[in-house]
Structure 1
Amino acid sequence: MSVDLATVKRVAKLARIAVSDQEAEKMQGELNTILGFVEQLNEVDVSGVEPMTSVVSMEMKKRDDVVSDGNKADDIVANAPATEDHFFMVPKVVE
């Protein structure tokens, strides 16, 4: 895939970046180089290769999945101007 000057200017406009004609020509070459590299990566056979989470093999830290309410209801509504049974009270705005 090759990017032309009109595409570079359109992408710059969509990104709301002011690009001069000289900068657009430079970006055209850079974008074509990047797309060429991506095309090379698409040619690599990765079937049978598992995805990695890191370049270093490590076990992720996990915590026990325990349901708890945190016992913080009083702390959560402590600074509210009005509360009732651990709920925030707000003025009625819809009739």
Structure 2
Amino acid sequence: MRKPVRIEQTLREALTGPGRVDVQRAIGWDDSNISRFLSGNQGVVIDKLDAMVSAVGYVLITRKYLDAVTTLGEVGMHCECAREGLGECGRSCK
């Protein structure tokens, strides 16, 4: 089973890797802020959260939205029946 990607892991990689400067610039931090954050001695103020999440390549969406996209993908993209106006997947189209 695949292990879920954790935001902590993503932030650590972003703040120590080659794109670090871009993240620092987006949230207005210097090297000492990064060091304190990674060691657990500094948090992120609420008005920097969106910038930080965006800088590491993520966007915030709801689980409800993901569930809807998944359902529409299963039914709409792969259902020849529905595309031909013959009903939803799982029904006999022929």
> Which range, TM-score by smaller chain?
under 0.3
More helix, by proportion: 2
Report which of the two structures shows the higher radius of gyration computed on alpha carbons: 1
Compute the TM-score of the two structures, normalised by the length of structure 2: 0.23
More strand, by proportion: 1
